[in-house]
Amino acid sequence: MADDKKLTTRAEDFSAWYNEVVLRAELADYSPVKGSMVIRPNGYGIWERMQRALDDMFKATGHQNAYFPLFIPESFLKKEAQHVEGFAPECAVVTHGGGKELEEPLIVRPTSETIIYHMYAKWVQSYRDLPILMNQWANVVRWEMRTRLFLRTLEFLWQEGHTAHATHDEAEAEALTILKVYRTFAEEWMAMPVLTGLKSDSERFAGALRTYCIEAMMQDRKALQAGTSHNLGQNFAKAFDLKFQTESGEMAHAWNTSWGVSTRLIGGLVMTHGDDNGLVVPPKLAPTEVVIVPIWKADEERVRMTEAAMQLKAELVDWTGRGATDRLRVHVDARQGIKPGAKYYEWELRGVPLRLELGPKDLEKQSVFSARRDTKAKAPIARAGVAESVAKLLETIQHDMFAAAKARREAASVRGVKSYDEFKEIMAGEGAFVYAGWNGDPASEAKVKEETKATIRVIPDAEFRSPTAPSTCLVTGQPAKHEVVWAKAY
Amino acid sequence: MADDKKLTTRAEDFSAWYNEVVLRAELADYSPVKGSMVIRPNGYGIWERMQRALDDMFKATGHQNAYFPLFIPESFLKKEAQHVEGFAPECAVVTHGGGKELEEPLIVRPTSETIIYHMYAKWVQSYRDLPILMNQWANVVRWEMRTRLFLRTLEFLWQEGHTAHATHDEAEAEALTILKVYRTFAEEWMAMPVLTGLKSDSERFAGALRTYCIEAMMQDRKALQAGTSHNLGQNFAKAFDLKFQTESGEMAHAWNTSWGVSTRLIGGLVMTHGDDNGLVVPPKLAPTEVVIVPIWKADEERVRMTEAAMQLKAELVDWTGRGATDRLRVHVDARQGIKPGAKYYEWELRGVPLRLELGPKDLEKQSVFSARRDTKAKAPIARAGVAESVAKLLETIQHDMFAAAKARREAASVRGVKSYDEFKEIMAGEGAFVYAGWNGDPASEAKVKEETKATIRVIPDAEFRSPTAPSTCLVTGQPAKHEVVWAKAY
């Protein structure tokens, strides 16, 4: 597995550190098709846990899964004007099938609004058929020139929800319900704090009325758009003739939402929590929460300690204190020919939240020795009630990881910037989330992007706004229309 | 939802019946891309349960999930000679990406051996890196001219397992382990009896040494290949330079297996169990196992009976007798403005295994009235201990569906056919699984296919062979090399 060369540190080169962690923790690998990646079992295991958690939340809010085709007729993409403008440059095009040139080229879906609303138009006749609340787990393709493992790849895995409603207000409520689901997932599962709010027009989804987002700060102070939820208005309903008979007998266009998160979240997890020893996975998303390393010197000790480790594992796994469906996920590393230190190094690189060491002396003292991945704190745990202690410690780790990430974000957030020059200095230096007034004009936004590479990440929800709203626009000095958060972004 | 027109019966036109069931039970729909289908929530819900059951079995046998790219360089497909011959005619080809023509066309994966073994070659150095036991859940594309919903579509969903081993025997054992998993899944979850065994050379996977299969009989007496497990030998390892250093220090090529089942299984489920009223889903795969229909006349009864139905549902769902993770899946249909009979009709069409009717008189008698979907048997169930009674009844239904399907298959299996003429008559008539001797010559197999459209579905495992092995070849009269099962197939 991983070679022994030290990781580049985050301070040396954050970008190189990121790539090394992803590759050496065996989360993913480059593929022979430029820009495409292979998600290896260590990475896919995290994705599976993400999927399960999100899927449960989608179902709890009334959504059902379905599956729509990979290929979309080229003519469909063109039906919604903004949509085609946004996506056409990124499309992969199938021109040949079964040895023949196709009459109409097929687009490999970059997102599925067009084909899904075409189908909804077929299924919906009356207000009784609404709402439709569907989601699909699927792969999508966007032809990206500058790719990064997980963050921006030619193909990625995601979920895309698509709903249809009888009224604008219902669609708006749906978009906000999902925004809340995304926030809960980011905070409670990924231990990744996010700002929620609205995107400015220039960052809005191609074809949407309004785009809501969750926006996170990575350790290099750059922003990661981690999830978006769009109120599509009637734009697609009009383009695809998605109409229904209202209760009073008239025909009306439906109102749509769409929303998605992707394997990009795994990149966000790496950059939120990783350290110079490698990955740090929050317990709730860790395929393995606890690794037990039995310690031995002589060979007869090996057998005894391995057995003791297996017994410890059984005790942990059999414990149902977290509920029968949520057992502790435990691995015993009893490999021979590898020193304990090398094992520690490897499991730290892979981000397993908690290590338990079990040597003859621990056995004597009826305890196990624990090492937290996040803080590196080490302490013995009494063997009596060990499962409950371990579960509590994992909860503490989950909690502390969120708190630490939030503290990092707040330490790198700047309010009350006095001048645009000061802002430019910040963005030319370490970067930050800069809270400032904005006049609402796309021109001032474009100017900042041009001059500093920073963009408006979000027009934050009330909860995230400064106690006193900035009165003037940072760029123009004109009266501010909104408080916004500026940052460089992935 | 479903219109009221009667379904075509199986006897009238099995193929029309099948399409109507799939469409009207809202399992799937046609998509605007010819040959592609939309899997609707009712169908996808079954697929999700299939996935969960199979995935658990794959993990229990040591496999991990991963994800490999959708696109495969055209040159990769060409590296294994038989493989390209088998798949090239069915390929969808991406020639343009990001607005430019690609230097090398990309194939949309029809199956992933080539790209996966390329990656394994990168990851494997020593015998210590073996075995690799991976699976992926993915979509694949095969350019089919004559498509059928679920059975043969341009794009389908499947799992494909890919493993690498140090020896032939290990690979062979793996292929057989998976064959057993597939059989267990087919019989215990789908209630669909299968024959297991080997494919003849002409039906072998393109690039494999040996292809094992599970083969089921549909109600029209045609065979459905429901799953395959291939021992690939060293064919792909040689084509992709997948080598490892053995324990004794030499370099050797690895041995591979691959295996898959797909959304085709949903078609198999429909054609194994469906009847003239529609779909019949085996309880273990039913997203909804029990539908409760409250019965009322006056409006004040409606409120009371709906409440009673919700209480009954709560009692069923809260019961943990099947284990905390396997609660009864129950839906209450309390819609107004739809008569109970119309509800029955709809839930029968959708195949829900058990209906419970709850009217004022049932409430009085402290019972509920049950109707089995499979046998249509109706009987009251005492309200005391209702959850356990319902769970038992669902087990009985699962068991009986398997027994009935097996009895149908056996009734339509023919042994001891005297002459090739008799065989031709059978195949020209109702069809059957015909057990007969075969000289092992592809020429006699080709002749039968040409003359009767029947093919060798499987060279059955010992368990499925006739008590006395046929001594002569049905077609040529020469000495028989194997007993084989002939049938027409999907």
Query: Of all residues in chain A, what percent carry a pLDDT higher than 90?
Result: 94
Chain A interface disruption, residue of B34, B67, B113, B139, most A CBs within 10 A: B67
The second-level CATH assignment, the architecture, of A14-273 is 2-Layer Sandwich (3.30)
Subunit contact B323:A324, Cβ cutoff 8 A: yes
Confidence of residue A298 (pLDDT cuts 50, 70, 90): confident
Please, which residues 67-96 of chain B have a Cβ atom closer than 8 Å to chain A? 67-73, 76, 88-96
Selected for mutation to probe chain A from B1, B59, B70 (highest A CB count within 10 Å) is B70
Cα separation, B112 vs A155, whole angstroms? 15
Question: Which run of H or E residues covers position A91?
Answer: none
Name the residue among A32, A41, A119 with its Cβ closest to that of B29.
Answer: A119
Cβ distance of B71 and A323 shorter than 8 Å: no
> CB-based contact (8 Å) between A125 and chain B?
no
Averaged pLDDT, A428-432: 97
How many residues are there in chain B?
Answer: 490
Element (H, E) at B56: helix B41-60
A-facing residues of B in 126-185 (CB < 8 A) are 134, 138-139, 141, 143-145, 154-155, 157
Task: Please report where in the chains the tokens 């015998």 appear, as a residue.
Answer: B127
Whole-number pLDDT of residue B4: 63
Model pLDDT, residue A324: 86
DSSP state letters, A213-229: EEEEE-TTS-EEEEEEE
The superfamily (CATH) of domain B415-487 is C-terminal domain of ProRS (3.30.110.30)
CA distance A456 to chain B (A): 26
Looking at residue A2, what is its pLDDT? 44
Q: Would the pLDDT of A185 be above 80?
A: yes
Cross-strand pairs, B398: none
Structure tokens at B27: 């399992």
- From the list B45, B47, B143, the residue facing A97 with the nearest CB is B143
* Nearest-neighbour CA in chain A from B406: distance (Å): 31
Q: Which helix (H) or strand (E) holds B79?
A: none
Q: Please measure the distance between the N-terminal and C-terminal CA atoms of chain B and give it in whole angstroms.
A: 29
d(CA A67, CA B43): 9
Q: How far is CA B33 from CA A69, A75, A128, B16, in A?
A: 8, 11, 28, 21
Put simply, the answer to whether B29 touches A98 (Cβ < 8 Å) is no
- Give the pLDDT score at B2: 44
What digits encode the pLDDT tens for the residues B373-432?
999 999 999 999 999 999 999 999 999 999 999 999 999 999 999 999 999 999 999 999
Using CB atoms, which residue from A88, A94, A119 is nearest to B108?
A94
Peptide bond into A131 cis (omega under 30): yes
Looking at residue B116, its pLDDT comes to 98
**DSSP code at position B459:** E
**Which two three-digit tokens encode residue A63?**
């959504």
- The DSSP call for residue B249 is S
pLDDT tens digits, A112-169:
999 999 999 999 999 999 999 999 999 999 998 899 999 999 999 999 999 999 999 9
The pLDDT value recorded for residue B247 is: 95
Per DSSP, the residues of A27-52 read SEEE-SSTT-EEE-HHHHHHHHHHHH
Q: What is the second-level CATH architecture of the domain B288-393?
A: 3-Layer(aba) Sandwich (3.40)
Burial environment of residue B419 by CB neighbours within 10 A (0 to 12, 13 to 18, 19 or more): exposed
Give the model's pLDDT for residue A80: 83
Mean pLDDT, chain A, integer: 96
Task: Return the CATH number of the domain spanning residue range A413-487.
Answer: 3.30.110.30
Using CA atoms, how far apart are residues A485 and A125, in angstroms rounded to an integer? 43
The verdict on B32 touching A (C-beta cutoff 8 Å) is yes
B38–A119 C-beta distance less than 8 A: yes
What is the DSSP-derived secondary structure letter of residue A125? -
Look at residue B3 in the predicted model and tell me its pLDDT. Answer: 55
Say how far apart CA B157 and CA B134 lie, in whole Å: 17
Q: What is the pLDDT of residues A332-349, one digit of tens each?
A: 999 999 999 999 999 999
CB contact under 8 A, A71 and B40: no
Find where tokens 């001219």 sit: B145
SS3 B355: strand
* Cα separation of the two ends of chain A: 29
Check A44 against B32: CB less than 8 A apart.
no
What are the residue boundaries of the structural domains of chain A, listed by start?
Answer: 14-273, 283-396, 413-487
- Please give the pLDDT value at position A4: 63
Residues of chain B found within 8 Å of residue A94, distances taken between Cβ atoms: 92-95, 108
Helices A41-60/A168-184 angle, 10° precision:
140
Residues A31, B98: C-beta atoms closer than 8 Å = no
Positions of E strands within B274-344: 290-294, 330-332
B396 backbone dihedrals φ, ψ, rounded to 5°: -60, -45
Mutate to test the interface with A, among B39, B93, B136 (most CBs of A within 10 A): B93
- A452-463 average pLDDT score: 98
Torsion on CA atoms B98, B99, B100, B105, rounded to nearest 10: 60
Q: Which residue has the tokens 């009888």?
A: A166
In this structure, whether the domain defined by A283-396 belongs to CATH 3.20.20.140 is answered with no
B108 touches chain A (CB under 8 A): yes
Q: What would the pLDDT profile of B236-270 be if each residue is shown by its tens digit?
A: 999 999 999 999 999 999 999 999 999 999 999 99
Q: Are strands B195-198 and B155-165 parallel, antiparallel or unpaired?
A: unpaired
| Block residue for tokens 């075409």 | A118
- Preferred mutation among B1, B27, B33 to probe A, highest tally of A CBs within 10 A: B33
Q: Which chain A residues touch B327 with a CB distance below 8 Å?
A: none
Residues of chain B where predicted confidence (pLDDT) is lower than 70: 1-4
Looking at residue A1, its pLDDT comes to 41
Q: What is the mean pLDDT of residues A405-426?
A: 97
Half-sphere exposure of B290 (CA within 13 A, CB side): 29
Q: How do residues A231-273 score in pLDDT, each as one tens digit?
A: 999 999 999 999 999 999 999 999 999 999 999 999 999 999 9
Instruction: Name chain A contacts of B145, Cβ cutoff 8 Å.
Output: 98
